[in-house]
Amino acid sequence: MNLEEFSFMGRRFGPLPVSVGASPYCLPWPPVFLLILTAFSLLATGCKENYNRAAGDASNDPAAHATNSAAASKPRDATKEAPFVNSLGMKFVPVEITGGSTNGERVLFSVWDIRVQDYLEYSREKGITPQKPSFEQEPTHPVVCVSWYDAKSFCRWLTARERASGNLGPRDEYRLPSDHEWSCAVGIGRQEDAEATPESKSGQIGQVYPWGTGWPPPKGAGNYDTALVVDDFDYTSPVGSFAANENGLYDMGGNVWQWSEDWYDAKKEYLALRGASWFTLGEIYLRSAYRYSIHPSDRYDIVGFRCVLGISGG
């Protein structure tokens, strides 16, 4: 839990996600407010019953043209310039991992967060009715209102689908990135102890952000809180709307928080999330090293996820 979160005059400085109706609603997190928070949570989780719109046409995806049109036919041949493209049109590029359980490997990161259209395809095949936020989303926006369990189930489904189609080898699999792998993808992996808990590393590297080293963020840095005046989106934005980082990855800062595979704390009570969201404002929360932490079953309209593709011998 992020005890440093607070709000002032209705503006949330921390990442605590509580939405009521169409407007983000902020409550401080300290225990004295927990009963109030619980009451609001019962009334509104920030996520409505379901999407009732068709998945849409991927050809309308502005990010579909954001990277080079060359594509690798097999995952292990993927490069930043020629990503591996799977059956959902998701693009994967390699990230060199230093430290941790995948030290020395090339892990393929999805260049985007999982989109609404991707999750609707999964939901249709699985017969699941997904939740949706109180604001409108287009098919190419990142899916939100998904728990850690939802995200892991999506990865398992996608692995089975792609293995059946012959796109993946029997030991290749889609999964969530580890917290350390995410650090490598955002460019701070060598500055952190891969074995330390995410909690102990959260926010510890100052003045390093997904867009660089200056504060405040420059225009076009990503989709953050409207008060930062760096983008034109009140809520989520289409994936790939901003510049990619040096690894070719979009939205590594802003748009939606991304689930990782790892526990945040030694007690294994919370999961670690990375990347900040369209509703994040405070300086520390935008740092590349900041970790958000919520329960694995929580679903919020500022939280989505990104898949990686682990390739055997990668």
Q: Give the total of residues touching Ca ion (CB under 5 A).
A: 4
How far apart, in whole angstroms, are the C-alpha atoms of residue 182 and residue 95?
A: 9
Query: Cβ 224 to Ca ion, closest distance in Å?
Result: 6
Residue 278 binds to Ca ion (criterion: CB under 5 A): yes
- Rank residues 174 and 278 by Cβ distance to Ca ion and give the closer one: 278
Q: Which position among 202, 223, 280, 293 is part of the footprint of Ca ion (CB under 5 A)? A: 223
Q: Starting at the edge strand that comes first in sequence, how are the strands of the sheet with 271-274 ordered?
A: 292-294, 271-274, 257-263, 303-304
Q: In which residue are the tokens 């580890």 written?
A: 178
**If phi over 0 gives left and psi between -120 and 50 gives alpha, with beta otherwise, what is residue 246?**
alpha
CB 98 within 8 A of CB 184: yes
Among the candidate windows 3-11, 168-176, 186-194, 218-226, which touches Ca ion by CB under 5 A?
218-226
Instruction: Kindly state whether residue 121 participates in binding Ca ion, applying the rule CB under 5 A.
Output: no
Candidates 64-72, 118-126, 272-280, 285-293 — which segment interacts with Ca ion by CB under 5 A?
272-280
CB of 116 to Ca ion, least distance (A): 17
Question: Is 231 among the residues that bind Ca ion (CB under 5 A)?
Answer: yes
Amino acid, single-letter form, for residue 59: S
Q: Which of 142, 137, 154 is nearest to 51 (CA)?
A: 137
How crowded is residue 53: how many other Cβ atoms within 10 Å of its Cβ? 14
* DSSP H/E element including 272: strand 271-274
How far apart are CB 245 and Ca ion at their closest, in Å? 18
Residues 6+ apart with CB under 8 A from 214: none
Residue 157 sits in the site that holds Ca ion (CB under 5 A): no
**Binding span for Ca ion by CB under 5 A among 134-142, 163-171, 172-180, 217-225:** 217-225
Q: How far is the CB of 254 from Ca ion (least distance, A)?
A: 7
Binding residues for Ca ion, rule: CB under 5 A, are 223, 231, 233, 278
